[in-house]
Structure 1
Amino acid sequence: MNLLLTGLNHKTAPVELRERLSIPEDALAAVTAQVLALPGVDEAVILSTCNRVELLIAHRERVAEPDMAAFLEECFQLSGSGLREHLYHHREAEAVRHLFRVACSLDSLVLGESQILGQVKAAYAAAKENGAVRSQLDRLLQETFALAKRVRTETEIGAAPVNISSVAVDLARRIFGSLDGKRVLLLGAGKMSELAARHLVHHGANRILVANRTLARAEALAAQFNGEAITFDAVFSLQDVPDILITSTGAPRPILTAAHVQQFLHRRRRKPMLLVDIAVPRDVEPEVNRLEGAFLYDIDDLQSVASANLTDRKRQAELAEEIVAAEAIKFEQKRRSLEIGPVISGMQQTVEALCEAELQRLAPRMHSMTDEQYAAVKMLTRGLMNKFLHLPKQALRSAAQTGDDAAVRAIQSAFDPSVLRTGPKGDLACPRSGVSMDDVKREKARGHHAEQGSTASAPAEAATDSAFSDEIPARRH
């Protein structure tokens, strides 16, 4: 079974193209069924997020590799769109390594973010539900999840926040400890303010006020958080002053002076207040930093923290890359060893068939043997067979693990069942490189004469047998 991973992501394709390949959750089953219908495809998992679309398939070896680029062009009506130049294709060990890196967030837009692992797990669950995952991809995905957990445990790749919204949450937690029940005021209804508020709510803040010069816009944003909208002017007369103020108005000059914040602190009875100014130009006067109890961070402060954290994440990512590379090699070796199992089993069956054929061929000469003696001969035959196969088996496993396909094919061909011949009655005879069919016929004729009582000629005939050096006594009934 071969592995192929085809896809595009934020590094290889613009958002205009990525969004055309985006697969809604309710359409995933249908697209998966189309992939499974491709010649030779046995298993498939589709990962579709805002930053990537990837198709991972397991397909049969003796069937031509599916043209996944053509499939995507047809499925999403993208013929002539230039899609192919944005696609990447990873096979076998590279497909494994790529999947490992994706799940460990080493290939994400935000290095170390945790959301991607959940998305890979969701893709696996959907494929499993649709009957698209069996032994090959199931084993690979389970190894992927275990590796991602290990990377999170053994490195700190996701410890420090690296985007503005996450940094704001981290600062708030440093100041207040728990964010449970904390009140948040959004001054301005911009996208950055909304993202920061979402992060704060996710970590426990539950009272959201939104103030905007356009009240309707404030009401729309407040509704997303089950919050309250107020007019812009009402901010300055608030008695129940919030714990956290996030401002991003786009005003040409500061709208919150040191005097305004001094009043806020007085109403809060000097309890600390966090002000996150992500506006350019700034909304809050820099002098506010001098006020006791006021913690002001502007966009440069946040970006500086994020950059420092990103540098640390990159150091942690180097450790994660080492773990991923080692595990990818181990998985590929294990996969190849498992795939060589049927080949070794076939080799064993081939040689067992030869041994059984030889025992049957010599049966007329073993009539005088007791059952115990005959059992000993069979045991000896099996012991020699196992010793003979030991080194070829070792060589096969070693060649499989190192990816030496030429050696695998050479050893496999030497034990191909087609090297066996059949005797006059359709029974198995000897390999092409061994005893000739004439030898087999002569030996059978000798056995036939022996059964008719021609015992006197048996020693002389045995002495002329070129295939076997020692005479085997005839078995007694």
Structure 2
Amino acid sequence: MIQLIGLKHDVKIEIREKLSIIPKRQEKSLEALLSICEEAVILSTCNRTEIYFKSMDDEIIKKIFKALNWDENLIKCVVNYKGDKAVQHLMEVVCGFDSLLLGEDQILGQVRDAYEIAKGLKSNKKELQRLFENAIACGKHFRTESKISEIPVSSSSMVVKKAIEIGHKKFMVLGYGAVGELTSKYILEKNIDVLYIAVRDSKKVNIEDPRVKIIPFNDLQKYYEYADCVISCTTAPHTVIHLDDLPNKSLLLFDLAVPRDIEEIVSENPLYEVYDIDMLGDIHDANYKRRVASMKNNRYIVDKAIKDYIEWKTIEELTPFIKKIRHIGDDVYKERLTTFKHKKETKDNEKLAEVLLKSTSNAYVNRAIVVLKEEHLMGRSKQCEDIISRIFQQ
């Protein structure tokens, strides 16, 4: 059975960072999961950690926590969806229905990345592979039909918008992964003076813009005083912005990372206005009502994708029985073919073929008649007649 465990919506960031899986640990975590699950895919973003897996083990949740070295006392902080509910959740996630910022467009790429990592490790087999391929196709279709991408929203766009509205023109971005790159893109679309991008490897950044200054990550503290707004989005497992390194001036700081990049004590200083990922929902978004309407009008796409997958899964459950029927059919024709080969030199071939074809037909017609009689005696003849009629196309 396909299942998922995911963080509850009301779980604070202090707990989420304890149950996060940073990118460089994702493959190792998948390998650990494969020792206890038939299939597994990890979807880990700044605002969610979800594990999709296939298992019938009643103790699987505890085993997952143990395999990932998570505190079992935090099991109460996750939800466990099974079967159709898990399918529905992923379809809603990939289309942005379950995001903190409704309709945000980054999640589709994040789901695709999660699938590709699992595919590379062969940790998603038939059922999860089909589920994620269907979900990704659903996400693409939904965005095309709803045109939700024309009403842009992401954590990156929201924080840049707020900083610009306040009047900031000197930015610093820490980290240049997917979120850092997107954040830098939004910043450079605005009328700004300078953008400092702090990275450990300068070759990762390829931007030809005179406003961009690439700085070594280890020299952060030397450049803080030149910025008005700092946006941190690294994948570090520890804090990277510390109170002692910050200048004696007002700063607007956004922490888009989980685990957090900014140590908690920074927010206690009145000089610094600090927003973590949990606080982004408080930032006003004028496009919210437009997104709600667009998503509501195109909800049917999600519902159809859910229905299609569930139907595929239901039919897939018949596969062993269908193989058995085909095997029986093969035995019947092979038996008659053997008879034909043995007798074709001594018998009238046309008469022999007629007898063998007739016996093949009788093998199934006579059996259908026997089953019909048995079902009639048990009061189920009407349904049996309908099925047999459909088989014989009458």
* TM bucket, shorter chain: 0.5 to 0.7
| Mapping for residues 451-470 of structure 1, pairs under 5 Å | none
User: Is 2:316 the partner of 1:320?
Assistant: no
What per-residue deviation string (whole Å, max 9, x for no partner) do you get for residues 125-163 of structure 1?
111122212333222222111111111111133433567
User: Is 2:96 the partner of 1:105?
Assistant: yes
Structure 1 CA distance, aligned partners of 2:87 and 2:155? 33
User: Is 2:68 the partner of 1:69?
Assistant: no
Shift in alpha-carbon separation, 1:72–1:216, aligned structure 2, 3 A: same
- TM-score under structure 1 length normalisation: 0.51
| Mapping for residues 94-243 of structure 1, pairs under 5 Å | 94-161=85-152, 166=157, 185-186=168-169, 198=184, 200-203=186-189, 207-208=193-194, 217-219=224-226
Q: 1:14 aligns with which of 7, 12, 26?
A: 12
Aligned residues of 1:188 and 1:248 also touching (Cα < 8 A): no
Structure 1 CA distance, aligned partners of 2:49 and 2:183? 29
Structure 2 CA distance, aligned partners of 1:223 and 1:367? 91
Shift in alpha-carbon separation, 1:133–1:18, aligned structure 2, 3 A: same
Q: 1:334 aligns with which of 312, 320, 323?
A: 312
Give the match's secondary structure for 2:54.
Answer: strand
Structure 2 CA distance, aligned partners of 1:166 and 1:48? 20
How far 1:322 moved relative to its partner?
2.2
Aligned residues of 1:100 and 1:328 also touching (Cα < 8 A): yes
Q: 1:29 aligns with which of 11, 27, 30?
A: 27
Aligned residues of 1:160 and 1:313 also touching (Cα < 8 A): yes
Structure 1 CA distance, aligned partners of 2:316 and 2:50? 26
Identity in percent: 25
Give the match's secondary structure for 1:57.
Answer: strand
How far 1:357 moved relative to its partner?
6.5
Count of residues in correspondence between the two structures? 298
For 2:38, the equivalent position in structure 1 comes to 42
Alignment-mate amino acid for residue 27 of structure 1: R
| Mapping for residues 363-374 of structure 1, pairs under 5 Å | 369-374=347-352
Shift in alpha-carbon separation, 1:187–1:169, aligned structure 2, 3 A: closer
Highest RCO, 1 vs 2 (Cα 8 Å, sep ≥ 6) = 2
What per-residue deviation string (whole Å, max 9, x for no partner) do you get for residues 44-65 of structure 1?
1111112111111234xxxx43
Structure 2 CA distance, aligned partners of 1:32 and 1:382? 51
How far 1:348 moved relative to its partner?
3.0
How far 1:335 moved relative to its partner?
2.8
Alignment-mate amino acid for residue 208 of structure 1: V
* Stretches of structure 1 lacking an aligned partner (at least 5 in a row): 174-183, 226-230, 234-246, 250-279, 281-301, 392-406, 412-477
Structure 2 CA distance, aligned partners of 1:18 and 1:198? 26
Give the match's secondary structure for 2:350.
Answer: helix
How far 1:390 moved relative to its partner?
9.9
Alignment-mate amino acid for residue 354 of structure 2: A
Shift in alpha-carbon separation, 1:389–1:330, aligned structure 2, 3 A: farther
Shift in alpha-carbon separation, 1:25–1:390, aligned structure 2, 3 A: farther
How far 1:346 moved relative to its partner?
0.6
Give the match's secondary structure for 1:45.
Answer: strand
Alignment-mate amino acid for residue 53 of structure 1: T
Larger radius of gyration: 1
Structure 2 CA distance, aligned partners of 1:375 and 1:21? 69
How far 1:112 moved relative to its partner?
0.8
Structure 1 CA distance, aligned partners of 2:89 and 2:368? 36
* Stretches of structure 2 lacking an aligned partner (at least 5 in a row): 175-179, 197-220, 233-246, 253-269, 271-282, 370-382, 388-394
Structure 2 CA distance, aligned partners of 1:164 and 1:122? 18
| Mapping for residues 377-388 of structure 1, pairs under 5 Å | 377-383=355-361
Shift in alpha-carbon separation, 1:115–1:165, aligned structure 2, 3 A: closer
> Which moves more between the two structures, 160-169 or 378-387?
160-169
